[in-house]
Amino acid sequence: MKKKGRKHRKAATGQPREAAESALSQEPVVKTSAARKSVAIAHDPAILSREEDADQRKQAADLRQDTAELRQEAADLRQDTAELRQEAADLRQGSVGQREVAADKREDIANLRQDTADKREDIANLREDAADLRQVTADLRQVAADLRQEAADLREETATAKATLSASTQAQLREANERLVVATIQAQTMTETAELATEQMSYMAEHDFLTGLPNRALLTDRLVQSIALAERHGKKVALMYLDLDHFKHINDSLGHAVGDQLLQSVAKRLQTSVRLYDTVSRQGGDEFVVLLPEVEEVQDAVRAAKKLIEAMAQPHHINGQLLRATVSIGISIYPDDGKDLETVVKNADTAMYQAKKIGRNTYQVFIPEMSARAVARQSVEQALHLALEQHKFILHYQPKVNLETGAITGAEALIRMKESDDQLVGPDNFISIAEECGLILPIGRWVLREACRQTKAWLEAGLDIAQIAVNVSSREFHGKDFLAGVMSILDDTGLDPRHLELEMTESGLIQDSIPTTAILRALKHLGVQIAIDDFGTGYSSLSYMLRFPIDTLKIDRSFVQTLDEGTIDKGDAGEAIVSAVIAMGTSLKQRVVAEGIETQQQLAFLQSRHCAEGQGYYFSRPVPADEFASLLGTTLNQPHMII
Amino acid sequence: MTLAHRAGSAHDATAAAEATISTWRQMAGLCTPVIGARGVDVIFRRSMYLTGKTFPWLASGEEQGGSAALLASLKVSLTGRDADDAAAAGYTLLATFLELLATLIGESLTERLVSPVWAPSEQETVS
């Protein structure tokens, strides 16, 4: 193994195998030469000895040994060489495979190198891309940096702008707040106003504007509730219908303002004269209704009515004046006098009219008979409507006579209504109802037109009639367009206004004196004559005699009738009044016409007092137009034949 | 600081009126930068109107003319009453003003605005 080691070391040095073999072959040659030299010395007879022999032998042995060893080494070398050759062969053999593998490997390596080259190229490309991206990123970073800079600049600018605008912005904000506050408060105010208006409207819908009392609507509501309660508790409900007596006269003579104040005073007094849970309501005009819920019997209502009449007996202080206003009361009881609301109210109204009829300032409890009279009144109203539609009105004419000569000076036109059987109904039976229901306006207009038309016809026929007198109610006179209506009728009929005389009552004139005066003056300006009818019976003063342009005074028949014998006390007073009126008229240069002359004695007295004119049954009843035409031109100083 | 403090020890209508008007002026000064002079004026007039429902003798707030005329009218109304009436009406007027203001800008801001001149205890009493 040691020899092998040497041999391997030499091989490991990388020396070629032939050189190694050469060295092996030369080394024994060197050692043999040296041995030969030593042997030559020993054979010298002089110096040779046994030691030299021994040395030589030893050297020869060593040489042999060395030679053996060399041989062994050579053998080993040969063996090694063989082995090496074998190994070389093996190696060559393996080398072939390895070369193939190597070739494959080289190919693989070539491929790998190619791949690597590709990869490197790719990497190079990627690096290039990365470089580009880095460049882009760098650019973007630059842009971002620029933007940040710009943003910073903007912030700085904004801050500067804010600082600059701060003062004006605050002012604008304050102004905005101010507007919002003002608008909100105004909205609150408007909302409150609207709510208040709604409340007021609701209140007004249920209360009378003038007196503040519940109106018809609220009364109806409370009456319904009272009836329901009364049914539940087995009791009764009383309804009192109140109407002020002669309120119209107060209104006419003192004006609507005073009339309204009186109504307010009456309302207060009524309220203080009933129980807390009673209801006083105003129905309109001078009508009131008092509701007494839960009464036991009709006498409870009677006691309440008496209390109200007593309370109303005290005068009212209005504008420094003491005014008296009595009431007429009608009482109706639920369920005795009606099973429903409408009937109870209607029957109380009917009872109130009955109280008026029996003298006013009193009460009446409804009884069924009253209803019949109310029905009759209703039938008259219907008849009036029918007469207007079917032209069932006609005029009769009562002559006015010169009391000295008996000559006819004119006539008073008086309306009649034809019934279905051609019977005539006088004005006393329907005029008051016509006034109540408002039909007086169309009826009055018809009377005026017909009287003017007829008079014009008589004049055109050559008949001599100085004047035609037409009665005008207060409601007509103070109605809308009265003056225009008169003018229109005069135009239409062609009657000279001087032939027309309008007769009005004192109370009809004394109302809103300024408009009254204006209308009267306008009529006078046209030429129309003005007469005061029923003079002396009205609720008025004499001052209007100076204010109004009055042409004629007509002495009321009630005074003339006192002139007869047998009415001594009244006769004296009547004579005094009649004499005074005649004297006053004469002094004021007004015509005086005595109405209702029915007897010779009356005529004689009037003649003795120089009363200029008169009319009455003594001369003639009212007669149809054709009969009156036949009277014209005659004298009527004797009782007329047609009486 | 309460109205009573402002009015001092003098228990009379004039002191109450002056305390009311003084407090009002300070409140107006604090509120004007936020809601403007017109805003303050309109709320004050509304307060006068509402307070007038409880104190009918108080000036109605419907007077024409500027705030000065209104304050003069208020002063006349307050000094014409006895001290208790004047103090009660003045307090109610200011409290009503603050209530209205609070409904418009909120209680928190109202308290912050007027706290220098209106005692919290009084505001609590108002609400």
The DSSP annotation for A541-578 comes to -STHHHHS---EEEE-HHHHGGGSTT-HHHHHHHHHHH
Blockwise average pLDDT, block size 10, chain A, 643 residues: 41 41 44 48 56 72 76 77 76 71 74 76 80 85 86 80 71 86 90 91 92 94 92 93 89 86 96 94 94 93 95 91 92 92 90 88 91 80 91 95 91 92 88 86 95 96 93 87 94 96 83 75 94 76 78 90 67 81 90 93 92 93 94 70 39
Q: Which residue has the tokens 């001087």?
A: A498
B35:A189 CB<8 A: no
CB of A294 closer than 8 Å to CB of A237: yes
Q: Considering only alpha carbons, which residue of chain B is nearest residue A188? A: B46
For residues A175 and B35, give the distance between their C-alpha atoms in angstroms, rounded to a whole number.
7
Q: Which CATH architecture has domain A219-366?
A: 2-Layer Sandwich (3.30)
Q: Please tell me the predicted confidence (pLDDT) of residue A384.
A: 92
B37:A180 CB<8 A: no
Q: Please tell me the predicted confidence (pLDDT) of residue B8.
A: 62
CA A322, A325, A326: angle at the middle one, nearest 5? Answer: 140
CA distances from A282 to A83, A314, A515 (A): 157, 20, 28
For residues B80 and A280, give the distance between their C-alpha atoms in angstroms, rounded to a whole number.
40
Residue A335, preceding peptide bond in cis (omega within 30° of 0): yes
- Please count the structural domains in chain B: 1
B35:A186 CB<8 A: no
- Report whether pLDDT(B74) > 60: yes
Distance from CA of residue B22 to its chain's centroid? 9
Task: Share the mean pLDDT of chain B.
Answer: 84
Distance from CA of residue A272 to its chain's centroid? 37
Distance from CA of residue A214 to its chain's centroid? 24
Looking at beta carbons, which residues of chain A come within 8 Å of B33? Answer: 170, 174
Looking at beta carbons, which residues of chain B come within 8 Å of A178? Answer: 35-39
| Mean pLDDT, residues B50-66 | 80
For residues A595 and A562, give the distance between their C-alpha atoms in angstroms, rounded to a whole number.
12
From A170's Cα to the closest Cα of chain B, the distance in A is 9
DSSP state of A510: S
Looking at beta carbons, which residues of chain B come within 8 Å of A181? Answer: 35-36, 38-39, 42-43, 104
CB of A286 closer than 8 Å to CB of A301: no
Short-list A557, A597, A553, CA closest to A574? A557
CA distances from A25 to A7, A88, A530, B89 (A): 14, 23, 196, 149
Looking at beta carbons, which residues of chain B come within 8 Å of A182? Answer: 38-39, 42
A178:B43 CB<8 A: no
Model-wide pTM > 0.80: no
Q: Please tell me the predicted confidence (pLDDT) of residue B27.
A: 92
Looking at beta carbons, which residues of chain B come within 8 Å of A167? Answer: none
CB of A259 closer than 8 Å to CB of A316: no
For residues A516 and A544, give the distance between their C-alpha atoms in angstroms, rounded to a whole number.
10
CB of A258 closer than 8 Å to CB of A250: yes
ipTM for this model = 0.83
Q: Considering only alpha carbons, which residue of chain B is nearest residue A175? A: B36
Q: Please tell me the predicted confidence (pLDDT) of residue A457.
A: 95
A residues 131-190 lying closer than 8 A (beta carbon) to B: 170, 174-175, 177-178, 180-182, 184-186, 188-189
Q: Considering only alpha carbons, which residue of chain A is nearest residue B44? A: A185
Q: Please tell me the predicted confidence (pLDDT) of residue B66.
A: 76
For residues A184 and B35, give the distance between their C-alpha atoms in angstroms, rounded to a whole number.
12
Domain A394-424+438-631 has CATH 3.20.20.450: yes
Domain that holds residue B65: 3-126
Residue A243: what are its φ and ψ, rounded to 5°? -140, 130
Looking at beta carbons, which residues of chain B come within 8 Å of A177? Answer: 34-36, 39, 105
A185:B46 CB<8 A: yes
Same fold across A219-366 and A394-424+438-631 = no
Q: Please tell me the predicted confidence (pLDDT) of residue A641.
A: 41
DSSP state of A636: -
Q: Considering only alpha carbons, which residue of chain A is nearest residue B102? A: A181
Looking at beta carbons, which residues of chain B come within 8 Å of A188? Answer: 46
Phi-psi region of A393 (alpha: psi -120 to 50; beta: other; left: phi over 0): beta
A178:B35 CB<8 A: yes
A177:B37 CB<8 A: no
For residues A418 and A434, give the distance between their C-alpha atoms in angstroms, rounded to a whole number.
15
The two tokens of residue A561 are 């009738």
Q: Please tell me the predicted confidence (pLDDT) of residue A165.
A: 62
